Amino acid sequence: MRSMRVLVVGAGPGGAAAAIELGRAGADVLVVDRSPWPRAKTCGDGISPPGVAEARHLGLDLSDRRPLPCGEISTPRGYRFQGGWRPETPWGTIVERIEFDARLMALAVAAGARFEPGVTVRELAAADGAAPAARLAANGGAPEAFDAVVLAEGATGGLAAKLGFGAHASRLVALRGYAESAKPLDPVFGLYFDRDVSPGYGWVFPLDERRANVGVLVDERAVRRRQGDLRGVLQRWRTTSPAARAALGGTPPVLDVSGGVIPTGRRLRVRDGVFAVGDAAGVADPFSAEGIFQAMGSGRAAAAALVQHGPGRRAERAYAKALVRFDRNAREARRLRLGFAFVIDAMVKRAVDRPALARHLSANGFFMKESLPAFLWGIARTW
């Protein structure tokens, strides 16, 4: 019997995760990416504790990277605390995307996938009303038929919109660069909710003891209110934030600055044999903007649906069902984001003297958020 032929559009974490799982299941997988390889990617580079576990499931061991066993949070009024993660996922880490994506794609190729970087997909369409066909820029324009397509085109690709997947519900905007710290960096995820970045946060994520990924995240509407001057926001924040100055030992210059959008939410993620994953599906967390864990998870879910059911409607329904948990978490994250600005000072001030509350806020309020009722109950229980 002919093996299932799958095109994966995009070699980021979502596409690579799908290719790994499909390749290991015996599918004929072609991965294309419009960029030359390896390529850098604008990102916070943070692999959350559940992201580390997800990578390990795919066969990527990140224990060679610096472990970050806790997170640090500061508030607009300057309260700060540190809290750890859950025992089952005790640490996260920072890996530049040029390395992280390359390591995942190496696993995909080892699993049997073919990888063609520098190839653009010009069009996706239904072939004979059933299997999708793709027109690749590298094949002279002739369409190729596939049993299914995993669409991992990221935040700025236009194929999903052309297919009628609808607009994203919202977009967050981030700007990041790299700084050499004037002192040894503590092994923590630093998330700083200062006034200059409200509503949003700034971050300091240490790659090693001296070099850090430094950036700011704000809502797209907040950028418009600032006349698009996100570089000015980053500059003001890094010089005025007491927590950022303390983390970096001063105000070292931030170099290699670049920005990007993080889309969240999408009405439709699968149709006619095309499975959108990662940012193309809008599965990033609307509160923390974490997206690498969700990209790998959605890529794995698309592959699992195809492996279990084969191409067709059953696989599409199974994938849509698998994304329900991401949508539920996204709805609760939006509610948490709305209320967090009003109570963050009180919660963090209390957490300074309540280690159990600090651990709960760190482990569940960001990278490992429970359901919103469970999160609020945990606050009440540890208050």
Q: What is the pLDDT of residues 11-21, one digit of tens each?
A: 999 999 999 99
Count of domains for the chain: 3
Say if residue 143 is in the same domain as residue 217. no
Residue 307 lies in a domain: yes
Q: Indicate if 152 and 210 belong to the same structural domain.
A: no
Q: Could you tell me if residue 24 is inside a domain?
A: yes
What is the CATH classification number for the domain harbouring 293? Answer: 3.50.50.60
pLDDT band, very low/low/confident/very high, at 245 (cuts 50, 70, 90): very high
Q: Tell me what pLDDT residue 1 has.
A: 43
As a three-state string, the secondary structure of the chain is: CCCCEEEEECCCHHHHHHHHHHHHCCCEEEEEECCCCCCCCCCCCEECHHHHHHHHHHCCCCCCCCCECEEEEECCCCCEEEEECCCCCCCEEECCHHHHHHHHHHHHHHCCCEEEECCCEEEEEECCCCCEEEEEHHHCCCEEECCEEEECCCCCCCHHHHCCCCCEEEEEEEEEEEEECCCCCCCEEEEECCHHHCCEEEEEEECCCCEEEEEEEEEHHHHHHCCCCHHHHHHHHHHHCHHHHHHHCCCCCCEEEEEEEEEEEECCCEECCEEECHHHHCECCCCCCCCHHHHHHHHHHHHHHHHHHCCCHHHHHHHHHHCHHHHHHHHHHHHHHHHHHHHHHHHHHHHCCCHHHHHHHHHHHCCCCCCHHHHHHHHHHHC
**pLDDT interval class at 330 (50, 70, 90):** confident
Structural domain includes residue 158: yes
What tokens were used for 35?
Answer: 């960029």
Last residue of a domain, one of 310, 329, 348: 329
Q: Report yes or no on 73 lying in a domain.
A: no
The per-residue pLDDT of the chain, averaged, comes to: 90
Residue 216 covered by a domain: yes
Residue 90 located in a structural domain: no
Provide the residue range defining the domain that includes 370. 337-382
Domain end position, chosen among 329, 353, 369: 329
Domain identity same for 146 and 256: no
pLDDT band with cut points at 50, 70 and 90 for residue 86: confident
Do 366 and 274 share a domain, yes or no?
A: no
Per-residue confidence band for 198, with pLDDT thresholds at 50, 70 and 90: confident
The pLDDT of residue 180 is 97
- Statement to judge: residues 120 and 181 lie in one domain: no
Q: Decide if 83 is inside a domain.
A: no
Q: Say if 81 falls within a structural domain.
A: no
Same domain, 251 and 198: yes
**Residues 64 and 135 both lie in one domain:** yes
Whether residues 275 and 146 fall in one domain: yes
Are 244 and 345 within one domain? Answer: no
| Whether residue 13 is found in the same domain as residue 53 | yes
* The last residue of a domain, from among 243, 262, 281: 262
CB atoms within 10 A of CB 382: 16
178 and 305 fall within a common domain: no
Show the tokens assigned to 334.
Answer: 């939006």
Q: Which two tokens stand for residue 83?
A: 């809290």
119 and 62 in a common domain: yes
Q: Which pLDDT band, with edges at 50, 70 and 90, does 329 fall under?
A: confident
What's the Cα-to-Cα distance from 191 to each of 92, 170, 278, 293, 310, rounded to whole Å? 14, 21, 23, 18, 42
The percent of residues above 90 in pLDDT, for the chain, comes to 63
pTM: 0.93
Q: CATH no. for residue 241?
A: 3.30.9.10
- Of 14, 287, 50, 35, which is closest to residue 160 (Cα–Cα)? 14
